[in-house]
Structure 1
Amino acid sequence: MERRRVVVTGMGAISPLGLTVEQLWQRLTNGESGIDYLTKVNKEDFPAKVAGEVKDWDASLYMDKKEAKRMDLFTQYAVGAARMALEDANLMITEELAPRVGVWVGSGIGGMATYEEQFNKFKEKGYRRVSPFFVPMLIPDMAAGQISIIFGAKGINSCTVTACATGTNSIGDAFKVIERGDADVMITGGAEAPLTNMAFAGFSSAKALSFNDDPSTASRPFDLNRDGFVMGEGAGILILESLESAQARGASIYAEIVGYGSTGDAYHITAPAEEGEGAQRAMEQAINDAGLRPDQVDYINAHGTSTPFNDKFETAAIKAVFKEHASKLMISSTKSMTGHLLGAAGAVEAIASIKAIGTGIVPPTINYQTPDPECDLDYVPNRSRQAKVDVALSNSLGFGGHNATLIFKGYQD
């Protein structure tokens, strides 16, 4: 079967760094942090005091107010980012086109805020006071469902739930749908709105979050003094399109998606496999899928969570895959600025990878002050770097042992 080429023609992002791709990219390349003191829940109730919150969100700018009230916040973010991406791609989904346009958007934990609100109503007033929209607001697949309904996409409609690998797996699976000819266009990415009491309680109890109460230094990937991740929220959506479709309508092309790898650790529910063995195989799969040599990769947008095990083992995996080329790679964790957007992280980081290709600017890893002997690669510390990036690789690694890697390449006709 002939593999169709797949390109990126539209992008939309809602993040702690802003409500557009342009704001996200400008602040990333400036090395600015979107992390601040927690306001969406009472920070005094938790040992983790900081988060990457989306500021100034107004759902009515992206959807009907009545529709918005029937969506959890993660779905609102997904719909908003999808509208941006479709407008960016200058794509109208006509009745003729609709059956060939699919949606593949995931969420790691879905409607946590809805669950907490409705459970409290149930406890206080009984089942009759629980909203009839409770389940449709809660379930993670509703981001994809609502995008399909609102924009009229009638092709494959799917949702991936692979924890922190969700956004990357969603994009990779959507890529393969187009590549094998089952759709011409895919609206794809991830969305998350996890800044709730139970999410903070759970991650705090698991000691996964940074308990550093200084917003300016709490997220410090690859630094010796890192102590956990900073939770964030938002959404990233890409418009993927077959090259034939994009050319036929004269679409602008940001980059080509050329490789995808996805593996399982078969090791532990939260800890990564020793030496990043699963991440290593995901990167090798993606490189082989792309038909590239390891030394052709210029930049890696690392998973880089700022947790002790992840950063050490991801570094080990990069060394195992790239060998002597590992020391020549530019690597950065944009989570140092956004926090960890869980199921949306991979999608927002895919956008950062694509922008690095298009602009020739590599975003930094900020808050990198004390080198870790076990993390000894070039993490583009503290300041962005001008450099030619033809091939960018993006990693996402999730609870449950999910590993996913995407590779983007500068488009050439």
Structure 2
Amino acid sequence: MAGNNLHTDAVPRIVVTGVGIVSPIGIGKEAFWDSLSQGVSGIQADSSISGHPLGAKVNEFDPVAHIYQKKFIRVMPREVQLGVAAASMAMKDAGLERGSLDPYRIGVEFGASHISTSAEDLLDAARGLKTVVDPELFASQFGSANMDQIGPLWLIKQLPNMPACHVAMEHDARGPNNTITSSESSAILALAEAVRIIERGAADVMIVGACSSHFDPVEWTRVTTYEQLSQESDPDRACRPFDLNRSGTVMGEGAGAFIIERYEHAMARGATIYGEVLGVGAGCDGAGLENRRQGTGLVRAIEHALRRSQLTPQHLGHINAHGKGTVIDDLTEAKAYHRVLGSVAETIPVTALKSYFGHFDAGAGAVELVGSILALRHRLIPHTLNYHTPDPECRLKIVRGEPRRMTSDIALSVNRTRMGQSAAAVIRAI
């Protein structure tokens, strides 16, 4: 039967041996899983957020407690600190100390979103504009008179490849290093590339993850110009994936990371194995409004992941959905499941973890992926919060009310961007 012989000798088995998490519902895998299994939300009322009183922040995070190279903290914006901390937790969880492996055999694949500059970084330069400047001459006047007031490390702080760079420096990982900037799909796409790196023999261990935060004032202003945010005032009803009365998503922040390596490499060093990555796929909606409405990119991603895994839809035990909580995105995602999974789409349990911690681009995908890995580890599917009234147009078997025991050890985790880039990963518990 398909699934009994999932890999040939020519294709190495890739397993997850460590996880790290910094999220609104917990810092560290134990606190994070406790919140998921007990249905504890991280979405709270926040009067400091202009125009939208709800958000999901990481509380009580101290970068000094989690980052080894403390001299770099001052050039790390919030999202990079979260990412480096998560990666360090994952390495510790995997039992990999700095110097324990050949540094040229350890690589990094990290996802990142837009990292906004802080207004404080430009404050001194802005003070120099004592009079209103002619808009046509602004660039030349600002450049000649005020550029030298901007700190030389200003740009470094907001480059999207800095999370991967800092993770590599933190752990002396000198192997392949790359950054994926594809919004919500970044984490799974980073996983896909990391798997390929190990498969072709370019590394033995890969540190994979993603991080992001939407709470910088500049970033918050940018996101609210295009995102459909929840109209709820009650945190306990805020993010309602696939519910008939959903009104939008909630902004958050966080980071997730995990360590992957060849099965033989993990066994040789006596590592704990969380699960096996059976297949990863990607797709894009492409041109045409109908392709976007039908979630063509997600269909292609799931097809590819299942084909790579040598599985059929009937093998899937549950789906960790993108579940953004917006009217259009959830409907498009549901349509994609029906297209690619057929009638099975209405029988596979579905959980949507953004109901716990909101939406925050690349970092959310990584946090959800860690959620999938831990769910397989505990053989328990967390329930979707705030799901009360089924949407007849979605027709999905949403896990609601309480967690559900697994009947299959295979999970599908997916993410999709508002532009139609999609990614899917099939993972099996071991």
User: Are 1:130 and 2:138 an aligned pair?
Assistant: no
Cα deviations by residue, 1:335-362 (Å, 9 ceiling, x for unpaired)? 0011113111121111111112111110
1:109·1:343 contact (CA, 8 Å) conserved in 2? Answer: no
Cα deviations by residue, 1:133-187 (Å, 9 ceiling, x for unpaired)? 2111111110000111111000001000001111121122112211222211000
User: Are 1:159 and 2:159 an aligned pair?
Assistant: no
**Partner residue, 2:88:** 83
Pick one of 217, 224, 238 that aligns with 1:197.
217
Cα deviations by residue, 1:309-350 (Å, 9 ceiling, x for unpaired)? 111111111111211221220101000011113111121111
Q: 1:167 to 1:272 in 2, by over 3 A?
A: farther
Q: 1:3 to 1:133 in 2, by over 3 A?
A: same
2:87·2:167 contact (CA, 8 Å) conserved in 1? Answer: yes
Shift in Å, 1:56:
0.3
User: Are 1:287 and 2:302 an aligned pair?
Assistant: no
User: Are 1:180 and 2:185 an aligned pair?
Assistant: no
User: Are 1:109 and 2:114 an aligned pair?
Assistant: yes
User: Are 1:222 and 2:227 an aligned pair?
Assistant: no
Pick one of 362, 366, 384 that aligns with 1:343.
362
For 2:165 and 2:291, how far apart are their aligned partners in 1?
32
For 1:121 and 1:315, how far apart are their aligned partners in 2?
49
- Which segment drifts farther, 203-212 or 327-336? 203-212
Letter in 2 for 1:52: A
Letter in 2 for 1:89: A
Shift in Å, 1:237:
0.3
2:317·2:406 contact (CA, 8 Å) conserved in 1? Answer: no
**SS of alignment partner, residue 257 of structure 1:** strand
2:23·2:254 contact (CA, 8 Å) conserved in 1? Answer: yes
2:284·2:300 contact (CA, 8 Å) conserved in 1? Answer: no
**Partner residue, 1:23:** 31
Q: 1:239 to 1:317 in 2, by over 3 A?
A: same
For 2:148 and 2:181, how far apart are their aligned partners in 1?
30
User: Are 1:209 and 2:229 an aligned pair?
Assistant: yes
- Which segment drifts farther, 295-304 or 132-141? 132-141
- Which segment drifts farther, 189-198 or 297-306? 189-198
Q: 1:238 to 1:4 in 2, by over 3 A?
A: same
Pick one of 352, 362, 384 that aligns with 1:333.
352
Larger-gyration structure (1/2): 2
Pick one of 75, 97, 105 that aligns with 2:102.
97
2:320·2:372 contact (CA, 8 Å) conserved in 1? Answer: yes
**SS of alignment partner, residue 320 of structure 1:** helix
**SS of alignment partner, residue 235 of structure 2:** coil
Letter in 1 for 2:59: K
- Which segment drifts farther, 65-74 or 205-214? 205-214
2:284·2:422 contact (CA, 8 Å) conserved in 1? Answer: yes
**Partner residue, 2:270:** 250
TM-score calculated relative to the size of structure 1: 0.94
For 1:141 and 1:337, how far apart are their aligned partners in 2?
28
Shift in Å, 1:197:
2.0
For 1:379 and 1:199, how far apart are their aligned partners in 2?
32
1:190·1:235 contact (CA, 8 Å) conserved in 2? Answer: yes
Shift in Å, 1:207:
4.4
- Which segment drifts farther, 400-409 or 260-269? 260-269
- Which segment drifts farther, 193-202 or 153-162? 193-202
For 2:429 and 2:99, how far apart are their aligned partners in 1?
29
1:98·1:155 contact (CA, 8 Å) conserved in 2? Answer: yes
**SS of alignment partner, residue 273 of structure 1:** helix
**Partner residue, 2:343:** 324
**SS of alignment partner, residue 26 of structure 2:** coil
Pick one of 21, 38, 42 that aligns with 1:13.
21
Q: 1:346 to 1:53 in 2, by over 3 A?
A: same
**SS of alignment partner, residue 322 of structure 2:** coil
Pick one of 296, 301, 319 that aligns with 1:300.
319
Shift in Å, 1:129:
3.1
**SS of alignment partner, residue 145 of structure 1:** helix
Shift in Å, 1:371:
1.7
RMSD: 1.8
TM-score calculated relative to the size of structure 2: 0.90
**SS of alignment partner, residue 398 of structure 2:** coil
What does residue range 10-89 of structure 1 map to in structure 2 within 5 Å? Answer: 10-38=18-46, 42-43=48-49, 45-46=50-51, 48-63=52-67, 64-89=69-94
For 1:349 and 1:96, how far apart are their aligned partners in 2?
29
